[in-house]
């Protein structure tokens, strides 16, 4: 089993294919398995890395480090250990927030960011407090009630059930991300983002309304938004062929934008 010891934890990852690097980050409580519909396509001409971030999937479940900074630090170590050359980082839901923060904090490590259904500034204090309390009272019941709303009407029940099982199999300490989500707001820093970014979002996403990526994109120089028709919060799973086509269309523009970055902007960002 491929694993990497970083920052007092162990991360499970998969690394396949050759070519420009892509790093896929899953959402809260799931795993790198959620990108299964992307791997056969993109490993044909890209080096594709998926990782189960700390607390999730096949990675360790430590008590500490379950914060955005903790996960970003893990990603920095992963990119260095695998010698990834400025991967485009594709992140689902909170994974999109991790990808954005990685680009903001360590610009020199990132070739581009594709947030997918990313939360941006959305969660409210009241809603998050209620969610965390409910998870502590009845984790299984809360997850079973909550997750179906991530998906568009008509989604196969098997996909929803599989997502629920993944979340319940992950560690309880990842709830810290939900407890602190209401304090996350990248909008003040987005005007200074120095890597290409393109938001992909499901048209029917009720967890994070499409106004969120549009607002974030309007603040970010050169940012784009693509909306996946008929999809909810997980468009890479709900409409994989359409999602893959849009992602493929976005990647060449990111590569061109990277080549045009002035040398002065290639100086490593301060921590």
Reported as a single tens digit per residue, the pLDDT across 103-144 is: 999 999 999 999 999 998 887 656 788 999 999 999 999 999
Q: Is residue 86 part of a domain?
A: yes
Residue 206 lies inside a defined structural domain of this protein: yes
By C-alpha distance, which of 50, 47, 115, 53 is closest to 85? Answer: 47
- Six-digit token pair at 255? 């590569």
56 part of a folded domain: yes
What is the rounded average pLDDT of the residues 63-68? 96
Residue-wise pLDDT for 218-229, tens only, equals 999 999 999 999
**Angle at the Cα of 55 (from 269 to 131), degrees rounded to 5?**
100
Residue 196, in any domain of the structure: yes
Instruction: Tell whether 109 is covered by a domain.
Output: yes
- The verdict on residue 108 lying in a domain is yes
Rounded to the nearest integer, the mean pLDDT of the chain is 93
Helical residues (DSSP H) of the chain, grouped into ranges? 39-42, 68-81, 94-105, 125-137, 139-146, 157-169, 175-180, 211-219, 235-238, 240-259
* pLDDT score recorded for residue 188: 95
The pLDDT, as a whole number, for residue 263 is: 38
* Residue 249 pLDDT > 60: yes
Give 199-242 pLDDT, tens digit per residue: 999 999 999 999 999 999 999 999 999 999 999 999 999 999 99
pTM: 0.94
The bridge status of strand 9-16 relative to strand 47-52 is antiparallel
Number of domains in the chain: 1
The answer as to whether 271 is a domain residue is: no
Domain that holds residue 118: 3-266
- Residue 58: per-residue pLDDT: 97
Residue 120 sits in a domain whose CATH number is 3.40.50.1820
- Please report which confidence band the pLDDT of residue 250 belongs to, taking 50, 70 and 90 as the band edges: very high
Q: Are 193 and 120 in contact (CB under 8 A)?
A: no
């Amino acid at each position: 089993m491929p694993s990497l010891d970083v920052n007092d934890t162990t991360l499970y990852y998969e690394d396949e294919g050759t070519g420009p690097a892509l790093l896929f980050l899953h959402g809260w409580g799931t795993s790198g398995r959620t990108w299964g519909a992307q791997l056969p396509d993109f490993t044909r001409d890209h080096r594709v890395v998926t990782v189960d971030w700390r607390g999730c999937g096949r990675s360790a479940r430590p008590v500490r480090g379950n914060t955005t900074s903790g996960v970003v630090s893990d990603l920095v170590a992963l990119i260095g250990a695998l010698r990834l050359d400025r991967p485009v980082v594709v992140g689902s839901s909170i994974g999109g927030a991790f990808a954005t923060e990685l680009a903001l904090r360590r610009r020199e490590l990132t070739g581009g960011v594709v947030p997918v259904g990313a939360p941006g500034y959305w969660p409210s204090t009241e809603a998050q407090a209620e969610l965390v309390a409910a998870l502590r009272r009845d984790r299984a019941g809360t997850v079973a009630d909550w997750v179906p709303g991530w998906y568009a009407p008509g989604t196969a029940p098997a996909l929803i059930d599989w997502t629920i099982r993944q979340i319940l199999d992950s560690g309880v300490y990842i709830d810290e991300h939900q407890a602190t989500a209401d304090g996350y707001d990248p909008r003040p820093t987005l005007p200074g983002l120095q890597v290409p970014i393109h938001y992909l979002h499901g048209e029917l996403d009720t967890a994070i309304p499409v106004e969120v990526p549009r607002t974030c994109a309007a603040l970010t120089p050169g940012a784009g938004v693509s909306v996946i028709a008929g999809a909810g919060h997980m468009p890479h799973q709900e409409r994989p062929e359409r999602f893959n086509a849009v992602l493929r269309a976005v990647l060449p523009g990111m590569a061109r934008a990277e080549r045009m970055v002035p040398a002065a902007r290639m100086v490593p960002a301060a921590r």
